Amino acid sequence: MSKPKIGIVGFTGCTGCQLSILDLEDELLDLLNLVDIIDFRMAMTGNKKGPYDILFVEGSIVNKKQEKELKELRTKAKVLVAIGSCACFGGVQAIRNYRNDRVIREAQYGKDADKLPVIKVKPINNVVEVDHYILECPVNKYEFLDFVKYVLIGGKPKLPNLPVCHQCKAKENRCIFLEDNIICMGPVIQAGCDALCPSYGLPCDGCRGSTLEAAYQQQVDLMVKKGASVSDVTRFVLKYNGEDPQVKEFLLKAWIEQDKNLKYGEDDKE
Ligand code: SF4
Ligand code: SF4
């Protein structure tokens, strides 16, 4: 029986998710006994552009060429999985969607700005159908490995839909948000990281996206009570998740009254 064919491709991001997978090293060799990696452009030569049993896609979509390529890849993939914050929610580059696009591009590229046509930053599910999501920035290599094994035995992985606070409390960590007034996004962010940052005394930065029905208004009320300024709130809420539907709804319906600097889609050519 032939082994399932796997592809790992990247669009716009820092390639950290692909590096995380490469970092599996020993486990990757074991994995190769179970699957056939036919396309991993960052790691090998002789790649084949499908067909794939499972295709993992890193990065967000920022121009028409990428949009076309992703659509073509989708036709060749039985299962397509978004990996990392960029692919799932737009990533840090989606901050651009909330600012004047022309001003940002001119600051970066000067007079060459028009030679580099871009569109609004899109998570991949804004372009094609996505079957599964592996969260985090970068993805946790063991979560990736568990996902592959689970799918290979016919499982249908589901996200836990618990906030980071749930895992943080289970570890009996001190709550730095309530006790030290350090702004932490744990109450609205999807668990699964074992509350990694708060376990080291650092705030949750939001890299796993929102829980279902995340209470952003209550979260922001508490942030303000703990001393966050308007720009702090925008920065924390927006950082990885600009195209997370709940973040977008909160920022553009409620927060835009507070933060007059939010300019979603301004000068966007789409
Ligand atoms: S999700 Fe994070 S690690 Fe992965 S490509 Fe995007 S910025 Fe890099
Ligand atoms: S430190 Fe952050 S993640 Fe932990 S309980 Fe407090 S708010 Fe939640």
The residues with which 12 forms a beta bridge, in sequence order, are 60
For ligand 2, atom 5, name the residue with the nearest CA. Answer: 165
- pLDDT at position 153 is 87
Mean pLDDT of the chain: 94
Domains of the chain plus CATH, in order, are 5-152 (3.40.50.700), 164-257 (no CATH)
Q: What is the pLDDT of residue 270?
A: 64
Q: Which atom number of ligand 1 is nearest to the Cα of residue 59?
A: 5
Q: What is the pLDDT of residue 114?
A: 83
Task: Name the closest ligand to CA 178.
Answer: 2
Q: Please give the pLDDT value at position 29.
A: 85
The DSSP letter of residue 211 is P
Q: How confident is the model at residue 269 (pLDDT cuts 50, 70, 90)?
A: low
What's the whole-model pTM score?
A: 0.94
201 Cα–ligand 2 center, Å: 10
Question: How remote is the CA of residue 138 from the centroid of ligand 1, in Å?
Answer: 5
Across the range 112-137, mean pLDDT stands at 93
The H-assigned helical ranges of the chain are 16-22, 26-34, 64-75, 84-89, 101-109, 141-152, 164-170, 176-180, 196-199, 216-225, 230-238, 245-249
3-state secondary structure of 244: coil
Distance (Å) from CA 86 to ligand 1 centroid = 6
